[in-house]
Every structure is written in structure tokens, then in C-alpha cells.
Amino acid sequence: MIDDKKVDFSKTTFFRLVTKIADLPKDSKPQVVFAGKSNVGKSSVLNKLCRQNKLAKTSQAAGKTRNLVFFDVSEAFYLVDLPGYGFSKSSKAEQERFSKLTDDYLHSESPIALILHLLDIRHMPTRQDLEMVYWLEATKSPYTILLNKADKLSRPKQEQMQSKIRKFLQSETGIVFPMQKISAETGLGIDSLADLIRENVAGSK
Ligand SMILES: Nc1nc2c(ncn2[C@@H]2O[C@H](COP(=O)(O)OP(=O)(O)OP(=O)(O)O)[C@@H](O)[C@H]2O)c(=O)[nH]1
Ligand SMILES: [Mg+2]
């Protein structure tokens, strides 16, 4: 059992780059996955959460994270930074390799405690986002949508977009998903994200 009060995100270290399924950790520590379109801010949110700017590599150009990157939090569980989908500049073969790796990972026996699916709060979900929603939901792991880059909108606009996105996903899927606004830039919602992760990793063992 993980004592969630003792989990210190600032004690996160790089653990392993996984380029093939055989490299996945074989231990039973819970895994918390960051998924989402390229450039939505997965690596930036992970860094903000861990209060370390350079832990996960980020970039203004889409397609920075190319493999599954595992980080170890207080030797209690893993954070997993996934490559983004929808990145058109990489070759077709490369795109297929990333998505096969992600697909195989999410269907592996890995103890996934929580999937965090990032969307950009400024935009309605794309067709690809929606496919990912269906697909991630089908894994039956606990699943939350994070609306990132909230700092780019005024408070009223944030509320408006959150409501529009919630209604759109509900009308498409029939499901009301848990959803939180966050910003890797200002830290909005990052403390409650840390609590959500603590609860899920504590509950998963
Ligand atoms: N204003 C603002 N910019 C952000 C936020 N989160 C990320 N960014 C910026 O968005 C860009 C992409 O961020 P990354 O964290 O590299 O995105 P990613 O989802 O990991 O991208 P891939 O690795 O390509 O899949 C960078 O220029 C970040 O500084 C945010 O909350 N607000
Ligand atoms: Mg990244």
C-alpha cells in the first residue's frame, strides 16, 4: 500500500526510455499515463507537477516525445510520458511505430492506475482526439481529461469552453467524463492534479 501523503513529486527522476515493449518495467508499481495530441503540453504538465523544468523534454515544435518515457516518483510509482498523436511531420512509418508502441503498451499487462488525456482548452476535440477518447475509455483504467493551456483564455472563456467540450463529448459518447482545467504555464490545477494522482496510485495497490 502506498502512503499517499508521503508521495513527493519533486523527488521524481528519469527512469527509462521504452522504445520496445520488452523494455517495459516488470515490477508492480502503478503507472500514471499522460496521453494527448502532439504539442498539447504533456511533457510540460509533467514537469510542472514535479517542479523540475528539464525533467521531460519539451518543445515549441510538435513531435518532441518520440518514445515512452518512464519517470520514477519517490520509488512508489511511475509517470509515463507518451508520444503525441497527430504529428504530421514525422514519416508515416515513424507515426505507425509510435502508435503501435502506445497501443501495445496500453494493452499490455502494465498496472495502469490512471490515464490523463490532455486536450487544448482553446479548441474543440478533433476527430483524432475523439478516437483517442473512445479508445482510452475502452481500456477501463481510471481516466480523466485535462484541459491544458487554460492561461491562454480568460476565466469566463475557460468556463465556456469546458462546458462546450463536456457537452460535445457527452453527445458523441454518451459519457460524462471527469474533467479539470490546468495550466503548465501558471500552475493552475496542478495541486489538485497531484492529489488526483495520489488518490489513484494509493487506491490501485
Ligand atoms: N501558454 C501555455 N503554453 C504551454 C502550456 N503547456 C505547454 N505549453 C507549451 O506548448 C508547447 C508544447 O509543450 P510540450 O510539453 O512539449 O508538449 P507535448 O504534448 O509533450 O508534445 P509532444 O512531445 O510533441 O507530444 C511548448 O512550447 C510549451 O511551452 C500551458 O499550459 N500554457
Ligand atoms: Mg512531449
Q: Which ligand is nearest to the CA of 58?
A: 1
CA of 64 to the centre of ligand 1 (A): 10
How many folded domains does the chain comprise? 1
Residues with CB under 6 A from ligand 1: 36, 38-44, 58-60, 62-65, 83-84, 148-149, 151-152, 183-185
Domain that holds residue 54: 4-203
Q: pLDDT tens across 1-13, in order?
A: 666 666 899 999 9
CA of 58 to the centre of ligand 2 (A): 5
pTM above 0.85, yes or no: yes
Q: Look at residue 60 and tell me whether its pLDDT is greater than 60.
A: yes
Q: Are 45 and 36 in contact (CB under 8 A)?
A: no
Q: Look at residue 157 and tell me whether its pLDDT is greater than 70.
A: yes
Mean pLDDT (whole number) for 161-187: 97
Domain with 136 in it: what CATH number? 3.40.50.300
Q: Tell me what percent of the residues of the chain surpass a pLDDT of 70.
A: 91
| Confidence (pLDDT) at 89 | 61
Q: pLDDT tens across 72-114, in order?
A: 999 999 999 998 877 656 667 766 767 788 889 998 999 999 9
Q: Which ligand is nearest to the CA of 184?
A: 1
| Integer Cα distance of 128 and 21 in angstroms | 24
At residue 34's C-alpha, the angle toward residues 52 and 185, to 5°, is 45
Pairing relationship of beta strands 143-148 and 112-120 according to DSSP bridges: parallel
Cα–Cα separations (whole angstroms), residue 17 to 33, 134, 166: 14, 27, 34
Q: Is the dihedral of CA 129, 135, 136, 140 positive or negative?
A: positive
Mean pLDDT (whole number) for 178-203: 96
9-13, 20-24, 57-61, 149-153, range with the lowest pLDDT: 57-61
